[in-house]
Amino acid sequence: MVTPKMQIKNDRIEKNIDKENGKINIEKKTYGTNDNDVDVTSRISNTGDVLDNTIGEFGRWQCQISIMMSLLLLPLAWIQLGMVFLAPPTEFTCKQPILPDAIIEKWPHIMSGSDMKPGSCLIKDPTSKKGDSMIPCPWGFEYSDSITNSSIITEWDLVCEREPLLNLAQLAMLFGVMSGGLLFGAAADKLGRKPVLSISIFLQTIFGLISAVIPWFYGFVTSQFLLAFANGGTMVTSFVICMEIVGCQWRTITPILYHISAGIGSAILAAIAYYVRDWRQLQLALGILGAMFIIYIWTASESPRWLLAVGRRREATAILDKATESNGTNKTSIIKILEEWSRLNEEKNTQVGLLAFVTNSELLKRIFLLGVNCLISDLCFYGFSQHIGQFFDSIYMSVALQGLLYSISGIVAIVVVNRNGRRQSIAISSCFTGLCFFALLFVSPNDWVNVLFAMTGLIGMAVSHPVLYLLSGELFPTTIRASAVGICITFSKVGALLASTVLYTGEAGWYIPLIIFGCLSFFQILLTVPLPETNNFDLPEDLEEIRAERKSVA
């Protein structure tokens, strides 16, 4: 009896190059067929096979590019989590008024018996004859410096009636990432990975520095939106490049390890913020560190897979030439392999446009299921991260610990995915996370077991997170792959936006958010069932390969 894994293994392509006559002998072994029955020219139909034959599945060149792309997640963490330290929860009271000396002498008596507490937006009216009327703080506020010396809250008095402006700054960040992922993803499919990555890094550098010095609140909000907008483009293009340059066997390891830098970046952010307590100095320090990545404009490489998919063979050949030199592989056959690939694929339509997400039912189903999966994943992840933050008195410790847990989960994810494939790994992770959520319902909130379950559940969510992004790139053709990843990022940020709403239900009952998170985690299992398994499958280049892949999986 042939199992799916046996079928997949037998479907893998073995390619040999006859150096004497310069011909390409490409064989695809399929279970149940004779080698003589295999139509050679119909088997070489995707770019992944060509890359494996020219530069190998993984070598020094792929390793360098993968590390470079992964390091771009350091500023991602600094940008998207920076608001935690730029606007931390801050206690405040009304500032003592500037009044004539006669009234100032009576101030302690006027305020005696007042029920005003930290966070109160009202103060006794010192000019009132009765002394019992309350007015909004007319002389400003005094802020606690227990967490930070200054923040955007203290600089622009984002408390009381101005508190919604703080939400505006946070929303600007989320909407920036969402719109950047969408627009830059589509641009990367049209213009190329490297140009979009270069533009994103340049804009990210500029607006990261502007955010540190701009004196107006609305100017700051605008710069934060544009900073996040550029960061969304960096996220999409760096991840797509990372997964497109490696072979089938390394596509599990490399894109998942790529996400580890996000956790490390969170820990670095917490460490820097701990010592730099002024928000402008912190933003400037992060902006300067992020500016180092502008060197990528000259050192990053275009994806040869994308170049081949859009017919730019000469540019792909030049990149593959350099890659073979770095990897120490034979480059004499590159031109012949690419010529043969182009000849066999000249009649195929690899130029799949964005409309395919709407006009093709299979692509529409995939992007919808993946999008909702990403929404639930980030909703639970960010919501539960805030839930864990309640156990720690220090936000610095909370952010650093969660970042390190996220990095450790990357190693766990590789082991789980290699053993179980994509779909089963997401299902196992979601089930594990859901059980942790429900277990918390039966544990005392102040018990150390509560913290243990919470951290274990966070690891479970962090395992499924990179696997979902991996699937979003593997299930779509090269010419719309970045768009698909961008759409999934947008869905995920919608989930992050909804996280605070779910936590707000805790005011009606502390257990309600946990029940919601747990139910959503189990619902996520059902959403993965209709998705095809991509483990050991080459990346698709056109719709025909997606149809063939669907039949093969079935």
What is the distance between the alpha carbons of residues 25 and 13, in angstroms, rounded to a whole number? 11
DSSP state of 507: G
pLDDT at 451: 78
**236, 199 contact by CB (below 8 A):** no
What is the distance between the alpha carbons of residues 411 and 417, in angstroms, rounded to a whole number? 10
Question: How far separated are the first and last CA of the chain, in Å rounded?
Answer: 16
DSSP state of 288: H
CATH fold of the domain at 353-542: Growth Hormone; Chain: A; (1.20.1250)
Whole-structure pTM value = 0.84
pLDDT at 509: 85
pLDDT of 37 strictly over 80 = no
pLDDT at 30: 29
- Of all residues in the chain, the percent with pLDDT exceeding 70 is 79
Q: Which of 350-354, 360-364, 450-454 has the highest mean pLDDT?
A: 360-364
pLDDT of 404 strictly over 80 = yes
SS3 141: strand
Q: Which two tokens stand for residue 156?
A: 């622009």
Q: What is the mean pLDDT of the chain?
A: 81
- The pLDDT tens digits for 430-442 are 998 899 889 888 8
Q: Report the candidate in 31, 26, 25 with the shortest Cα–Cα distance to residue 9.
A: 31
What is the distance between the alpha carbons of residues 421 and 416, in angstroms, rounded to a whole number? 8
Average of pLDDT values for 216-232? 95
What is the distance between the alpha carbons of residues 340 and 336, in angstroms, rounded to a whole number? 6
What is the distance between the alpha carbons of residues 80 and 466, in angstroms, rounded to a whole number? 17
Average of pLDDT values for 2-28? 39
Helix (H) or strand (E) holding 85: helix 83-86
- Do the domains at 54-83+162-347 and 353-542 have one common CATH topology? yes
pLDDT at 343: 66
pLDDT of 279 strictly over 90 = yes
- The pLDDT tens digits for 444-456 are 766 777 778 888 8
Question: What does CATH list as the number for 54-83+162-347?
Answer: 1.20.1250.20
Polymer length of the chain? 554
Q: Could you give phi then psi for residue 480, rounded to 5 degrees?
A: -130, 15
Of the listed ranges 31-40, 408-417, 455-464, the one predicted with least confidence = 31-40
pLDDT at 23: 40
DSSP state of 16: E
Average of pLDDT values for 215-221? 95
- The pLDDT tens digits for 485-501 are 999 999 999 998 898 88
pLDDT of 387 strictly over 60 = yes
- Of all residues in the chain, the percent with pLDDT exceeding 90 is 35
Average of pLDDT values for 79-107? 76
Query: Of 71 and 353, which is predicted with more confidence?
Result: 71
Question: Domain residue spans in the chain?
Answer: 54-83+162-347, 353-542
**383, 506 contact by CB (below 8 A):** no
**410, 257 contact by CB (below 8 A):** yes
> Where are the extended beta strands (E) located within 414-526?
none
